[in-house]
């Protein structure tokens, strides 16, 4: 009997994760997009919310490093919302280029993937996938602030994913995806301003310049193009245009 109930419970969970959920009203989707935009543009909120972008940025480096056969040493997240991902392998070549390029493009690409899932009404699947990715990243975090940031972020997603209120689930999921899509543009602009003021010759764009010979400004343009393209395409999916 206990085994039967356990299998039944697992079945329920599986159907809940893989099933579809109704979209929130269109006006609410637009309002959540506006709220995400405020979080990006209003500096007091951005200082805190930017930690989520850093998680996605460093997570992008880490995932691509592993996919390219590099050995991941660890990830650190800092209180100034910077971060660093250390991996070992060939110092040059396609794998290294992809690993470095993954950072600034990751938030936007993750947001685009989330928008695709929401367009298909897989709200719970998006939330559970986010929890899984955060749990895997947590295993690679090597400092206390990083652990705290990932745990708090994951806790918020877990709370949203476990609630039986579909409106809360949908609202959280849409806000999260809107934020990643819109926030993906701002770090590229920030890096461009920083490079024009101080040089910042250790940025990802400058590392890519040294690896490929392609100008750092060109890489910034690529980052921006990916971010804007994902924001436009993802926004259209979220609004069902």
Q: Output the tens digit of pLDDT for each of the chain's 241 residues.
A: 544 545 555 666 666 666 677 888 999 999 999 999 999 999 999 999 999 999 999 999 999 999 999 999 999 999 999 999 999 999 899 999 999 999 999 999 999 999 999 999 999 999 999 999 999 999 999 999 999 999 999 999 999 988 878 888 999 999 999 999 999 999 999 999 988 887 667 899 999 999 999 999 999 999 999 999 999 999 999 998 8
**Long-range Cβ pairs for the range 17-21 (8 Å, 24+):** 17/124, 17/125, 17/128, 18/122, 18/125, 19/124, 20/120, 20/121, 20/122, 20/123, 21/121, 21/122, 21/123, 21/124, 21/166, 21/169, 21/170
Domain ranges of the chain: 27-238
pTM (2 d.p.): 0.92
- What single DSSP character describes residue 85? E
β strands within 127-226, DSSP E? none
Helix or strand or coil: residue 143? coil
CA-CA distance, 196 to 164, in Å (whole number)? 49
């Amino acid at each position: 009997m206990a085994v039967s109930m356990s299998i039944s419970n697992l079945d329920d969970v599986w159907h809940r994760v893989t099933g579809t959920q109704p979209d929130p009203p269109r006006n609410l989707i637009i309002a959540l997009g506006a709220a995400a935009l405020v979080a990006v543009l209003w500096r007091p909120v951005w200082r805190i919310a930017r930690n989520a972008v850093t998680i996605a940025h460093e997570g992008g480096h880490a995932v691509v490093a592993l996919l390219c056969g590099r050995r991941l040493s660890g990830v650190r997240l800092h209180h100034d919302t910077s971060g660093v991902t250390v991996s070992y392998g060939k110092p040059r070549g396609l794998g290294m280029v992809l690993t470095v390029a993954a950072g600034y493009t990751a938030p936007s690409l993750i947001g685009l993937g989330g928008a695709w899932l929401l367009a298909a009404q897989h709200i719970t699947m998006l939330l559970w996938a986010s929890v899984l990715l955060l749990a895997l990243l947590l295993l690679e975090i090597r400092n206390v602030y990083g652990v705290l940031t990932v745990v708090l972020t994951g806790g918020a997603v877990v709370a949203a994913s476990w609630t039986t209120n579909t409106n809360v689930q949908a609202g959280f999921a849409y806000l999260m995806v809107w934020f990643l899509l819109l926030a993906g543009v701002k770090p590229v602009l920030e890096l461009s301003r920083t490079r024009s003021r101080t040089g910042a010759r250790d940025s990802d764009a400058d590392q890519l310049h040294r690896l490929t010979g392609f100008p750092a400004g060109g890489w910034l343009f690529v980052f921006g193009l990916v971010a804007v393209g994902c924001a436009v395409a993802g926004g259209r999916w979220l609004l069902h245009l």
